Amino acid sequence: MQDLAKYIDHTLLAANATVSDITKLCTEAAEHHFASVCVNTGYVPLASELLKNSDVKVCCVVGFPLGACLTEAKAFEAAEAVRRGADEVDMVINIGMLKSGDLDFVRRDIEAVFAACGKATLKVILENCLLTDEEITQVCEICRTIKVGFVKTSTGFSTMGATEHHVALMRKVVGDEVGVKASGGVRDRETAIKMIEAGANRVGASASVAIVTGTATKPSDY
């Protein structure tokens, strides 16, 4: 598959990621022309500065990885990240509220962050490993009506990452109106291509260089 790099969000979300680590991430992203780097919001200013003359976008996560913080906190984090240079925002839904059946809360939570993002692209992380297919469908339908940029499979920090089944289900629900991002456990070229063939048009991975070069990589959390 040509231009596989353009599908990839080159990701580093570890708690112990250093300035040196983020600098290396951005250097690799610029070299391989990945779609974006995905970092925690505290590193958005650094990534934005390092990538200002490149074709790589700056993506960040908010309400991460649990999604259970106040909606206002998520919206504030998103707005500040965009103000400091983020082009894309990956938010985690309130999984507990979804499991409680409060779809109105889930919608309001997403809408608040969507509004806070302004012109930046919003990706909505569902954490599919904790959800039923019905719940995944419900959130994807909400995201389709709000017209977010992407729905995303996983944080990479829970019990399981992306699966072809979940990617295909998400694509079926959102159609061509919303993107689908496969994240978590995508560590080699073969798996990345399987996710794309299942319906993903973005892949989140920390093993991005190994994926595009076809080299081996050790397992990681993302």
* Complete domains list, the chain, with CATH: 2-211 (3.20.20.70)
For the stretch 83-111, pLDDT in tens is 999 999 999 999 999 999 999 999 999 99
Catalytic residue among 57, 74, 123, 181: 181
- The residue among 23 and 216 whose pLDDT is bigger is 23
Task: Specify the pLDDT at position 215.
Answer: 80
Q: Residue range 126-151: average pLDDT? A: 98
The answer to whether 86 touches 113, Cβ cutoff 8 Å, is no
Q: How confident is the model at residue 222 (pLDDT cuts 50, 70, 90)?
A: low
Does the pLDDT value for residue 206 go beyond 90?
yes
Residue with tokens 């290396």: 24
CA gap 85, 76 in Å, rounded: 14
**Is 221 a residue of the active site?**
no
Mean pLDDT of 154-181: 97
Helix axes 133-146, 103-117, angle to 10 degrees: 40
Which of the residues 87, 90, 109, 123 is marked catalytic? 90
Cα separations in angstroms, 54 against 24, 30, 32, 49: 15, 6, 11, 10
Question: Does the annotation mark 90 as catalytic?
Answer: yes
Instruction: Please identify which of the residues 57, 74, 123, 152 carries the catalytic annotation.
Output: 152
Contact 76, 104 (CB under 8 A): no
- For the entire predicted model, the pTM comes to 0.95
- Give 21's contacts (C-beta < 8 A, 6+ positions apart): 12, 14
**Mean pLDDT, the chain, whole residue set:** 96
Nearest 5°: CA angle at 172, between 13 and 186?
A: 30
Using pLDDT thresholds of 50, 70 and 90, give the confidence band for residue 219: low
pLDDT of residue 190: 96
Q: Three-class SS of residue 176?
A: coil
For the stretch 9-27, pLDDT in tens is 999 999 999 999 999 999 9
